[in-house]
Amino acid sequence: MQVGVPFQSFRECIDPNLKVLVRIDINVPINVKEGVILDDYRIEAHAATISKLAKSGMSVVVIAHQGRPGDDEFTSLGIHWRYLEKYAGMRVSFIEDVMGPAAQGAIRNLGPGEVLLLDNVRFVSEEVIERSPQLQSNTFLVRRLAPLFDVFVMDAFATAHRSQPSIVGFPLVLPSCAGLVLEKELNAMNVFSSSRRESIVLAGGAKVPDTIKAISKLLANEAAGKILVGGLVGVIFIAAKYGANGWLRKYLEESGFGGLVNDARLLLDKYGDSVAVPTDVGVEVHGDRVDVDARKIDAPVMDIGPATMDAYSSYVRGAEVAVLTGPMGVTEKKQFAEGTEAVFKAMVDDAKFTIIGGGHTIMSARKLGYIEKIKHVSTGGRAFLQFLVGEELPALQALAESKRRFWK
């Protein structure tokens, strides 16, 4: 766990005489055709950092991304800036440029207390290439923008696992600090890391390879007392524990997840009762929910079943820390949100400290009315998983290096 990595705190970057570049992560679910953001939690979270800096009298320039080249959600940040204005409670300017003459001119002319949002940083081809921080600090993006600023604030925890110019390049050439979101993430992970064997991790969702890898490391590091699997991750473990026939066999063949079943089986063989697998599931039959034994699946699995809900809820009760990394089912359909709602209820009622992470998990918590009751809502997806299992995050290493270079 990297919680002890030394870098400058947010308050140490605040100075009304300075111009600050802030990297945030407002990469959100979006309907590009209709120009509608489907979940704005990340934007709301980062607005506090922007507001604090601007209200201190600093000139604030924001850099962020949306999607990846080739993705349906790869688009300009022209939709995002109004949301940032709303949550920051102040005027935010936006420019359709990242590092060209127009952007540089706007940055130079920015006054104290003013905020400027640059366009999607991934419009710059350098940003989608991962290399060492030293190489990233010599990119055109960093060389053109860094001289215009006094300090850099890294607040984009959700991109902390990336070694890209806007994440690891600027800290090597500018005095840098963590932002409010990043500090909050690290504080929450401190609670998790100090509990270890008294922690319960509910691992669901659809990011099967990443989640199984995370489960393996959590178990190997003895970083959690018990892992409870659900969602598509749970389907893989069901196949590993009970075998796959009928619909389940066909699903594994078509999804390409068949090879992961053996990985799950090896984890069950090695760690036994440390991993709880659903004993029943909710399947969809002609649009309706039908609960069946996990050994007798012959229709699409959409949720954990009632017996599994009860078992998982009992594990959560009294846990020092309960972490949910993905929904237990397809929460977009009301009848299959029951498992996720059950574990949310157990978490907020009976666990001492609660953490959730990942876009779909957050959307589910908001939809089901539990978001305000969770102690810590992580803005990260893959970064959240990597940090949870103690993997090094390039962004934190770059901040630590910045402290060694610039702060006395």
Is residue 407 in some structural domain?
Answer: no
Same domain membership, residue 230 and residue 174: no
**Of 178, 199, 214, which residue is a domain's last?**
178
pLDDT at 2: 43
- Residue 19 and residue 157 in one domain: yes
**pLDDT value, residue 386:** 83
Q: What percent of the chain has pLDDT over 70?
A: 98
> Looking at the structure, do residues 198 and 223 belong to the same domain, yes or no?
yes
Q: What pLDDT score was predicted for residue 193?
A: 78
**Which tokens is 133 given?**
């921080």
Roughly what angle, to the nearest 10 degrees, separates helices 41-55 and 180-195? 120
Please report whether residue 210 resides in a domain: yes
Among positive and negative, which fits the CA dihedral 160, 166, 169, 174?
negative
Query: How big is the CA angle at 385 (ends 384 and 386), to the nearest 5 degrees?
Result: 95
Query: What phi, psi does 241 have (nearest 5°)?
Result: -85, -40
Q: Do 140 and 204 share a domain, yes or no?
A: no
Determine contact, residues 180/155, Cβ cutoff 8 Å: yes
Q: Which residues are annotated as a binding site for substrate?
A: 25-27, 42, 65-68, 122, 162
Domain membership flag for residue 162? yes
> Residue 154: what are its φ and ψ, rounded to 5°?
-95, 110
Residues 113 and 252 in one domain: no
First to last CA, the chain: 26
Decide if 227 is inside a domain: yes
Q: Residue 123 sits in which domain range?
A: 10-178
pLDDT (tens digit per residue) in 50-75: 999 999 999 999 999 999 999 889 99
Q: Do 93 and 25 belong to one domain?
A: yes
Q: Write out the binding residues for ATP.
A: 332, 358-361
Number of domains in the chain: 2
Instruction: Indicate whether 393 belongs to any domain.
Output: no
* 268, two tokens: 């069950």
Residues in the annotated binding site: 25-27, 42, 65-68, 122, 162, 332, 358-361
Domain final residue, candidates 126, 143, 178: 178
What DSSP string runs through 22-75? EE------EETTTTEES--HHHHHHHHHHHHHHHTT-EEEEE---S-TTSTT--
Final residue before a domain boundary, out of 178, 193, 222: 178
Say yes or no: 117 and 195 in one domain: no
Token pair 């300009």: residue? 76
- Does residue 125 share a domain with residue 99? yes
For residue 95, tell me if it sits in a domain.
Answer: yes
Q: Which residues pair with 193 in a beta bridge?
A: none
Do 80 and 128 fall within a single domain? Answer: yes
**For the chain, which residues score pLDDT lower than 50?**
1-4
Rg (CA), the chain: 22
Tens digits of residue pLDDT in 133-188? 999 999 999 999 999 999 999 999 999 999 999 999 999 999 999 999 999 998 88
- Paired tokens of 279: 């004993």
- For 220, 244, 348, the CA distances from 41, given in Å and listed in that order, are 33, 38, 20
CATH of the domain at 371: 3.40.50.1260
Residues 156 and 215 in one domain: no
Q: Which residues are annotated as a binding site for (2R)-3-phosphoglycerate?
A: 42, 122, 162
In a domain, 399, yes or no: no
In a domain, 402, yes or no: no
Residues 211 and 321 in one domain: yes
Query: Does one domain contain both 119 and 234?
Result: no
